[in-house]
Structure 1
Amino acid sequence: MVSDGHETDGGSADQVLTSLGYKPELMRTRSTFQVAFMSFVLASVPYGLATTLYYPLVCGGPVDIIWGWVAVSLIIICVAASLGEITSVYPTAGGVYFQSFMLAPESYRRLAAWITGWLYAVGNITITLSVNFATALFLVGCVNVFQTPDGQNVLEGSAYQVFLIFLGITLLCNLTFAIFWTFIGVIAILITVLVVAKNGRHSGAYVFGHFEVNSGWVPGWSFFVGLLHAAYATSSTGMIISMCEEVRAPATQVPKAMVLTILFNLAAGLLTLIPLVFVLPDIQELILLAQPVPAIVLSAVGNSGGAFALLIPLLVLGVICGIGCTTATSRCIYAFSRDGAIPGSKWWKVVHPKLDVPLNAMMLSMVIQIALGLIYFGSNAAFNAFSGVGVIALTAAYSAPIVVSMIEGRRTVATGSFFLGKIGWACNVVSVGASSPILGIARVSPALTLS
């Protein structure tokens, strides 16, 4: 691999890391394919879009679902390209907080790094938490495609049931480090619902042009609030940067993986959403459910057993997504602790000598997530809060190094192997300009009732 003098293999990548002031401790065993796969898993778009479909259904219907996804994906491509330019110069597990430190003027670089680092750490933890919680809620929805003879759900979905499911998923994600899963099952869902479509199919005009507001907000604002669906599914874009110190040529592999993954995710998202909207049941009934996708699949297939079987791939994909987020979060905490920014850093910066992973950092993240999960006993809007905080923190963290790079005239990124020139300027402007609306959207997410 050639990277214009930055690094061509693990050895020279370690030299770059050493020049940045860090001792190489993690094994560089991940190939370009593995980086791209990891980045794709972090997003797990079919799963992410399936578990948060409630938002656009309430806020705008089909138009919000389809065109909202396209709009946010195009913005996130700009974010990925902007972060890719910076990562090609500073490929460390510290990610955006280290990049903010290096790019900012000396007078406030420590403050910039400290704020960005905590936003990044909180974002990593809460997004991982929301992924695992969403999987728990989605599992309840999947089980309830089965009904008792009197038409009641077979699983009540009480707070303690959801929490115990969430606890089991969180423990599983922290005990499992790598799982490969085929997306054939997801494709099977899409083909089956379109072919069977027991209750018929909508017209193309409905799928791509029907706009229906049930949120209580004015149409324009409601549409933007519905974009949280897409913002949540793409919020993990920059988390892959935390894997830089396990990649053979991070200055080239990681930026390319980030950008290409968004393009693949855009296509995968449309492949997931369009068939579901074609067989969408009455929206007024769907918005009464926390997880509408199981009901959509059941309506299309007309058989509880068949619907549950088709939903299993999404459940497994949710667990895989949780594993990916857990892995990236542990590296984020490890890197932040390595710089002494987290209380008890001497414990969390340790790399397990046999497992070659920052196990203590992983356990810290797990304990915090479980503790925060207890909030669900007091509020059924907890998931909304978790996902909202995660999107807010990560969006702000991604914006920080981009803003600092623009302030310094992009002189530093011009030395990198992923420099995009004038296109990079345009990507920076779009990334920063779109961050404020996304932050505003995420802030109002707890106002939506999703339980």
Structure 2
Amino acid sequence: MTDTDLKKPVTTNGESGRPESGEHAADQMLVSLGYAPEMQRNRSTLQVAFMSFVLAAIPYGLATTMYYPLVGGGPVNIIWGWVAVSLIIICVAASLGEITSVYPTAGGVYYQTFMLASPEWRRLAAWTCGWLYVVGNVTITLAVNFGTTLFLVGCINVFETADGEGVLAGEPYQVFLIFLGLTLLCNAISSLGNKWLPILDTFAIFWTFAGVLALMVCVLAIAKNGRHDAKWVFGHFEANSGWTPGWSFVVGLLHAAYATSSTGMIISMCEEVQAPATQVPKAMVLTVCLNTIAGLMFMIPLVFVLPDIQDLILLAQPVPTIVKSAVGNSGGAFGLLIPLLVLAMICGIGCTTATSRCIYAFARDGAIPGSKWWKVIDHRLDDVPLNAMMLSMVVQIILGAIYFGSSAAFNAFSGVGVIALTASYAMPIIVSMLNGRRVVSTASFYLGSFGWFCNIVATAWSLLAIPLFCMPSTVPVVDPTTMNYASVVFVGFVAISAGWYVAWGRKNYVGPPK
């Protein structure tokens, strides 16, 4: 296939050369990419941006992983680590946006990798990218729901018994049952309320900023135990991980990387968007910018009232304790944490929705065992890939059982999600660079020479993130309870992918329609 064949242009409007608007043009574009439209295009530009915001769920995503920067470097890691990773993720979003504006399908980076790669190795490249994308979507959704569970336990435990213990023991069976309930609820809402989800996403963004403003004002105004000065907030570095200071800071970036890892998940919603070639790329980039601001609004006030870091790093979920310390009473702290809990639920619903589309898109090209079941669209439920959603849910529940063996399970889920998604995002970007970025030069969302810079930054970040987030957060003592199982889960999924390719894919998988 020639470069000309690879350049599947968007449908244009007459002689103007501009993309057509409206659902009809988007459906025509999808047909030109080889797929029949099966889903309702019920999301506007703002609704796409709002869903992208919900997938990242700032500040919730930062709240549940605050342990990592506290161990890694304290205030410097919390604030400047967030700024650094956000700038990097803007480059990732912009790079993916260029490619998505040429190939806007639910297959996302998987489809893009296939179309951009050379004919002799495109099947293997797409297979690898597709499995990374699916694994990343599933495990990040799992990490969100599991993180919500642990965060909920931490929020409940701002209330204490007479002995000073939290009112909820947080035994493994209790944690698993709460996780199970949250997972079932997210799947029920996502499958039964599909047409209402854009409204829920719109509500989430206003709810989030209202909650963050309330938290900022109350925490800073009350500050029962006093406030740190600005020099300490923006300049204090305290490595408690056992790693050398520089590397400790880098390991602490899992906090920011986890919160931004969902950047490319919104691509899987392209077939439910009215003008995906322009809406989705803009939504990805603008949402990262919005998230950066929201994250700073959330974290800076908390750092000003931060209790002793040595006490906080003993907790799985430090944020509830930070808020309680600042406001001085359990009821007030819990009230301020409610917006984060609601956002956490909405984030779980959004991730569940995006993941089901990702699995559906990969299955319709025959790449998942039992694809004939997972590629089915349930038209009774407003065109939802229900079977794909149920597959994802079952896998998440099975993996959630790891918590019975190790309390470090959440670390594994979030770590492998970041690794898999980051690697899958990098593949089409790298292939595009190897092709001299010729295909994206036709894109409606084209960055010109700045695109090279964004592509290089995105690739370098991927090469760092993959080994980085397989490492334990603390050394030198690593035991079964503190081990980072991300590498184990990641290798397990890679083995399944490779085994299925050898057993079936090598002879039968042909990839997306060309």
Same fold (TM over 0.5): yes
Aligned partners of 2:472 and 2:483 also within 8 Å? no
Q: Which residue of 2 aligns with 1:432?
A: 459
Equivalent residues in 2 for 1:225-244 (5 A)?
225-244=251-270
Equivalent residues in 2 for 1:30-429 (5 A)?
30-177=43-190, 178=197, 179=200, 180-181=203-204, 182-183=207-208, 184-355=210-381, 356-429=383-456
Change (3 A) 1:95 1:337: same
Aligned partners of 1:244 and 1:254 also within 8 Å? yes
Local SS of the residue matching 1:443 = coil
State the Cα RMSD in Å: 1.5
Shift of residue 185 of structure 1? 2.0
Q: Distance in 2 between matches of 1:186 and 1:175?
A: 28
Q: Distance in 2 between matches of 1:441 and 1:409?
A: 29
Local SS of the residue matching 1:325 = helix
Shift of residue 152 of structure 1? 1.4
Aligned partners of 1:39 and 1:240 also within 8 Å? yes
Q: Which letter does structure 1 place at the counterpart of 2:454?
A: C
Aligned partners of 1:351 and 1:357 also within 8 Å? yes
Deviates more, 1:204-213 or 1:184-193: 184-193
Aligned partners of 1:58 and 1:214 also within 8 Å? yes
Structure 2: tracts of 5 or more residues without a match: 1-11, 191-196, 476-481, 485-514
Q: Distance in 2 between matches of 1:410 and 1:8?
A: 26
Aligned partners of 1:4 and 1:417 also within 8 Å? no
Q: Which residue of 1 aligns with 2:508?
A: none
Shift of residue 445 of structure 1? 4.4
Local SS of the residue matching 2:261 = coil
Aligned partners of 2:251 and 2:473 also within 8 Å? no
Change (3 A) 1:4 1:32: farther
Change (3 A) 1:333 1:352: same
Q: Distance in 2 between matches of 1:397 and 1:204?
A: 39
What whole-Å deviation, never above 9, does each CA across 1:232-256 have from its counterpart, x for those lacking one?
Answer: 0000000000000000100000000
Local SS of the residue matching 2:164 = coil
Q: Distance in 1 between matches of 2:459 and 2:447?
A: 17
Runs of 4+ in 1 over 3 A off after TM superposition: 1-7, 445-451
Q: Which letter does structure 2 place at the counterpart of 1:313?
A: P
Structure 1: tracts of 5 or more residues without a match: none
Q: Distance in 2 between matches of 1:408 and 1:268?
A: 37
TM (normalized to structure 2)?
0.86
Local SS of the residue matching 1:235 = helix
Identity of aligned pairs, percent?
73
Deviates more, 1:405-414 or 1:9-18: 9-18
Local SS of the residue matching 2:59 = helix
Shift of residue 274 of structure 1? 0.3
